């Protein structure tokens, strides 16, 4: 606050250092500057904290998404073929045979142990076999972006979800293998046990190489943003109180408190 001293010295010098009007004007100017300075400091602190919150959510979302991708890859490339060899053609155990079911059940267990309200996972599609996987509006936009940009490998960023800000990481799910069309092509060719469980109205008509779904991981930023807001408020009051203390010290040490001489009566004539 070194810039305050010259201002105070000039005010006191010009006005003789004795008028209440001078003190009042200086105090008002100081308080205004103190409020503005405190707002600026707390605002910068909040901006910095929000940046750290976004980065923390990004790292967590990327890690969770990579784990799910590894789990799905293992099931598709190793586990499913072994399971199908052991089961008969008419056997149907979704938790063993369907990749999306294995991934969903694994995630549900994970979320229950690690704060299900702070992280979430969606296998969003506009044409789901299981209606619970139908994409909401924001997820439909993500899928649409993948359809419009076939070379786009990933989307990530901040999204509004359930009235809260979340960081999301999404990757496209394409129909790379014709075997997928055995269950999701023509419903007349789909396994009987599948049509009996899910019907024939949706989840079919997929086309080879099309983006049909998106794997999306959400990480809530609620806790980090709330903490950043509370810290910003604390910073404001700490800064403002510190400036008030500075004002008191300036007035104490710099104001001339020597009693003014009483003018002679002749001064008024």
Give the other-Cβ count within 10 Å of 242's Cβ: 15
Handedness of CA 128, 132, 133, 137 (dihedral sign): positive
Mean pLDDT of the chain: 79
Give strand ranges (E) for the chain.
119-124, 155-161, 164-174, 211-220
For 163, the token pair is 């009235």
Distance in angstroms (rounded) separating the CA atoms of residues 117 and 114: 9
Distance in angstroms (rounded) separating the CA atoms of residues 211 and 137: 17
- Domain boundaries, given as residue ranges, for the chain: 94-221
Please state which of the four CATH numbers 3.30.43, 3.40.50, 3.30.450, 3.90.550 is assigned to the domain occupying 94-221. Answer: 3.30.450
pLDDT of amino acid 17? 47
Give the other-Cβ count within 10 Å of 184's Cβ: 20
Distance in angstroms (rounded) separating the CA atoms of residues 125 and 133: 6
Query: Smallest Cα–Cα separation from 54: which of 134, 154, 206, 159?
Result: 159
Tens digit of each residue's pLDDT (9 = 90 or more) over 210-237: 898 999 999 888 888 888 888 888 888 8
Choose the most confident range, by mean pLDDT, from 169-173, 238-242, 258-262: 169-173
Residue in this structure with the two tokens 């010295």, named with its chain if needed: 9
Tens digit of each residue's pLDDT (9 = 90 or more) over 44-77: 888 888 888 888 889 989 998 998 888 888 888 8
Residue in this structure with the two tokens 């008024």, named with its chain if needed: 268
Whole-prediction pTM: 0.71
Strand partners, 166: 159, 220
Choose the most confident range, by mean pLDDT, from 81-95, 118-132, 137-151: 137-151
Averaged pLDDT, 257-266: 55
Averaged pLDDT, 1-27: 55
Residue 151 is given by DSSP the state T
pLDDT of amino acid 20? 56
For 197, the token pair is 């469980």
Distance in angstroms (rounded) separating the CA atoms of residues 48 and 46: 5
């Amino acid at each position: 606050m070194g810039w305050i001293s010259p201002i105070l010295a000039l005010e006191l010098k010009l006005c003789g250092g004795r008028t209440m009007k001078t003190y009042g004007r200086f105090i008002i100017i100081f308080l205004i500057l103190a409020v503005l300075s405190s707002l600026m400091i707390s605002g910068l602190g909040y901006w910095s904290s929000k940046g750290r919150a976004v980065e923390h959510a990004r790292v967590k979302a990327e890690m969770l998404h990579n784990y799910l991708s590894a789990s799905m890859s293992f099931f598709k490339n190793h586990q499913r073929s072994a399971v199908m060899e052991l089961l008969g053609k008419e056997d149907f155990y979704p938790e063993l045979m369907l990749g999306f079911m294995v991934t969903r059940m694994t995630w549900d267990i994970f979320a229950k142990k690690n704060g299900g309200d702070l992280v979430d996972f969606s296998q969003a599609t506009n044409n789901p076999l299981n209606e619970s996987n139908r994409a909401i509006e924001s997820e439909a936009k993500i899928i649409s972006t993948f359809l419009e940009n076939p070379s786009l490998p990933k989307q990530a960023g901040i999204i509004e979800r359930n009235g809260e800000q979340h960081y999301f990481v999404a990757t496209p799910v394409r129909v790379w293998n014709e075997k997928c069309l055995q269950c999701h092509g023509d419903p007349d060719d789909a396994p009987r046990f599948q049509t009996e469980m899910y019907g024939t109205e949706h989840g079919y008509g997929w086309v080879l190489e099309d983006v049909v779904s998106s794997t999306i991981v959400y990480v809530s930023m609620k806790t980090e943003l709330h903490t950043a807001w509370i810290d910003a408020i604390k910073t404001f009051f700490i800064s403002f109180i510190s400036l008030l203390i500075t004002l008191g010290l300036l007035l104490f040490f710099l104001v001339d408190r020597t009693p003014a001489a009483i003018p002679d009566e002749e001064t008024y004539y």
